Structure 1
Amino acid sequence: MDLRPIPHGRRHGLVFETFDKLAVGESFIIVNDHDPSPLRMQMEFMRHGELSWVYLEQGPEDFRVEIKRAALPASERPKASGSDPSVFTRF
């Protein structure tokens, strides 16, 4: 996904929209005209534990990054047996 011609105010939203459509293990590549580290920080905060971020090219003119869905959102992950804190068992 080439972000360079896209207006700055739309770039992050477009990347999130694309990422949210990925199945676990799928990825896409972004191309940007500057280091997209602010996008990385935002994604790692808002999609914590769900993604991997690999620089394929780091400037000086272009930055290419592979963004991969590494896990389901926390709300969609199966809970481990006995992990429900609202359940209390007396011995």
Structure 2
Amino acid sequence: MSHNCSNTISFDLCYPFDARGVAKRFRHAAIFGALDALNPGETMSFVNDHDPLPLLAQLTQRYGEGITINYVAREPDNIAINFTRR
């Protein structure tokens, strides 16, 4: 039996990404990899323990108008952001 990860589709086209479970030195690379894997119209539902302002600047520089960034929650120790590929 074979498995093709590229065929995994969420019914609502929204995929969770909890950065708190990723080692800090790997986080940005993992986030970029996850966003690169999204198709237009798909969303990564991102959760973190701090507001990733430097990351947001990098995402804006890398993707420009190709991504939308929408905060869902913006409280201390509870940051949730939806990143949607255009």
Task: Give the TM-score, by structure 2 length.
Answer: 0.76
Distance 1:4 1:68 in 2: 20
Q: Which 5+ residue runs of structure 1 have no aligned equivalent? A: 71-91
- Map of 1:11 onto structure 2: 27
- Bigger share in strand: 2
How many Å apart are 1:5 and its aligned residue?
2.4
Distance 1:58 1:29 in 2: 13
Percent of aligned positions that are identical: 30
Larger radius of gyration: 1
- Over aligned residues, Cα RMSD in angstroms? 0.9
The count of residues paired between Structure 1 and Structure 2 equals: 70
- Bigger share in helix: 2
Runs of 4+ in structure 1 deviating by more than 6 angstroms, as ranges, are none
- Map of 2:55 onto structure 1: 39
Task: Give the TM-score, by structure 1 length.
Answer: 0.72
Q: Which 5+ residue runs of structure 2 have no aligned equivalent? A: 1-16
